[in-house]
Structure 1
């Protein structure tokens, strides 16, 4: 199953704030994490539109795990490398321990830059992931 990924993070290279995954049929995962010291841009443009109360990182990981387990095979599609990096880091549970997932591949899809469906609400990870899904499936 193709899962379309978008993340919001606290400035360039910053910590994860929110993650959304949307499958080909529209079933989605969306969670928000605490961001105690947001950079000014994030404070003004991301945090006001998260539309969900933050959860702890352990709850976030458990919900992500539950979402991923419903698929037999997963292909994560993102349009930005940092999204893939943040997703990968979220699979790490502790030193030497990672989340068990179905077989998983990742794809950096940059073609959408010329054929993109515009997000209904930029910088809201769920809307951005849905726009990526629509762009990809429209080809």
Structure 2
């Protein structure tokens, strides 16, 4: 099954702030908010931080990176061939970085495939119910891709 990914991060090349994964089918979604960096990029402070709690899961899922990595592995564990779909390369990079839980250790996750869907003219934020919230943006990406298939 495909899982649509969106992340929010602290400016270009910055730390992961939140992650949303939305399955192609079903209603089991994953959303996590990670500890905020000490020095927030001003744009992120204005456009991302106010919307982190815009989903019910946000109240219960403020987690550290290692916990989030284990939760992502558990979330995907029932699927033997998950495909992670993103429309921004940094989303894939941050997702992969999250899976690294130590200098030579990766969370217990099976094989993964990634699909980068370049989508000129489409903006997840512009089509999201809550722009710059990773879960809402992942939902917007799913709806867009499924509408194109």
Q: Which runs of 4 or more aligned residues in structure 1 lie more than 4 Å from their structure 2 counterparts after TM superposition?
A: none
Q: Using the alignment, how far apart are the partners of 2:108 and 2:65 within structure 1? A: 17
Q: 1:9·1:15 contact (CA, 8 Å) conserved in 2?
A: yes
Aligned-partner SS, 2:11 = coil
Deviations 1:1-33 (A, max 9, x none): 101000000011100000001001242110001
Distance 1:100 1:59, change over 3 A: closer
Question: Alpha carbon RMSD of aligned pairs, Å?
Answer: 1.6
1:6 corresponds to 2:6: yes
Q: TM-score, normalised by structure 2?
A: 0.86
Q: TM-score, normalised by structure 1?
A: 0.91
Structure 2 unaligned residues grouped into runs of 5+? none
Residues 1-139 of structure 1 aligned to structure 2 (within 5 Å):
1-25=1-25, 26-35=27-36, 36-51=38-53, 52-53=58-59, 54-111=62-119, 113-114=120-121, 118-139=127-148
Q: 1:17·1:34 contact (CA, 8 Å) conserved in 2?
A: yes
Q: Using the alignment, how far apart are the partners of 2:29 and 2:20 within structure 1? A: 7
Aligned-partner SS, 2:7 = strand
Residue-pair matches, total: 138
Structure 1 unaligned residues grouped into runs of 5+? none
Q: 1:116·1:135 contact (CA, 8 Å) conserved in 2?
A: no
